[in-house]
Structure 1
Amino acid sequence: MKLNYYQIDAFTDKIFGGNPAKVVPLNEWLEDELLQNIAKENSVDATAFFIYNSGDDIELRWFTPDLELDLCGHATIATAHVLTTILDYNKDKIVFNTKSGQLYVHVENDMYVMDLPQRNPVKVELPNFIKASLNKQPKEVLKSRDYILVYETEQDVRNIKIDKSIFDKENIDPGGVVITSKGNNSDFVSRFFIPQATIFEDPVTGSAHASLIPYWGNVLNKKEMSAIQLSARKGKLLCTNKKNRVLIAGKAKTFSEGTLWIE
């Protein structure tokens, strides 16, 4: 079996930045075990598989090297980029059917604008294994899918160190841990870590912003915000807080395309 693939860097305007995703078009769904093995072999943060046969909607799923995700922002942006710049998809709005319901993407001013369901975080206690792994404790802890650890300054976020041997003692399936604060050159910044994951720190995590946007929107009393994820690759996101949804906009660049040979 021969499958085409495209590797896209999302939430960046240049290759080697943002978050890489592989995008694989399918004619029909393959077995979950095979999809997972392909994602593991690809060794990027996420592999997006999609089916578009007829009609307006596109079936979309995302796999990390370790598991299937319920929501993945950067691989959704990457899929939209493949559809519109490589596969000649010409509708004004892309509708994706996913495990998190319908997601929407449209192109505006050379940016992909993604419409996701809002995930409001609530205050919780920090689990002991996360607390013990941190070199500095947060001022506030919240949770939706992910734990959200709020710090005073961007420098705190940049300097955070996590003892992986302690951090990996438990899993947070399917979520992770977000470190965030107000930004120096943006409204807010973040970093994202996943216990027991093949890729420990995610470069740019669109899905986490479904929670970060309503949180910072309330704190800053702003509807439109800019965000930077402070990974080594860095990513830039333009964010809009709506009533029950969030808009996340970013750019994307094609890095490579090729063929997967599955015997």
Structure 2
Amino acid sequence: VLDLRAKIRGLKGEEGFDGELWVLFEPWYKSLAEKRAGDYQTAATEWAIAYCEQLKIGLPSWMMDKNQVDALRKLQAAVESGSEKLLREAVVFAKQADYKSEAKLLAMYDEAVGKLRHLKRLPSGWEVEDLVGDDADHKMFKKVDIDSPIVKQLFQQVFDETRAAIVTRDRTGSMPRGYRVEKIISVMNVDSWGSYMKRCDEIGEQCKRFKGAAPCPDSVWKDMSGPVQTANHGNAILTGAHLPPLSGEANEFLMFHGTKPEAADSIAANHFDMAFACKTGLFGAGLYF
């Protein structure tokens, strides 16, 4: 091509030749993307880059660079495979390849992110891109402050309405007269969320085996210790935090676990661990809510 370009320099001119070349090259090049012929498109891109570098001219504006073509190929393969590992690797690679500047690449990136969200059953309020980060092997974990006054007020109402001055034999020290909500942090732990969703499904299936077990009717709660006190505000809190509603099929309720800040950080990162369960609690070793 370079020899041909040099020979016609005096006839049509270099710029005319380049223009005609790209006019013919463009539809063929774009057809490779439509056919998902990633290897051929990568080779074509490498040829075009080498051609432009040798002549010291810029690539056509409609052409992706090599990294973008590689990113498109990785995203396509990851979406087709449905592999979490490949999806995470492809998303990280695409983020480093300026995926937003190319419409087709952006669309495939969004599809891969959506596939990853669906695969892990993540809440709509969780930003998959932020959780993936810049390292495909990094734990998908993040903590975000919830600044909503409405959510804060709902939490405060729950504490106010459920406070009971009941002294149990494991209680030491004076009883607090009340609680004030100062800060709310949303924990986004993909591994813990997956375990939670799986267990919730299992409980829901078990409840189906017993007629009337879920959702548990008010009459049953009255025969026990009364209705769950957090029931009035649970779903409203979750809605404000952009989380899915509680599962009635699993008799799910929002509960509170009291612990020290450092223990809360450990629970957020690693989930509850029975090895650290309170051994001096009212009913023995266990997790108390």
- Please report the TM-score for the alignment, with normalisation by the length of structure 2: 0.25
Which structure is higher in helix share? 2
Q: Which has the higher contact order (CA 8 A, sep 6+)?
A: 1
- Please report the TM-score for the alignment, with normalisation by the length of structure 1: 0.27
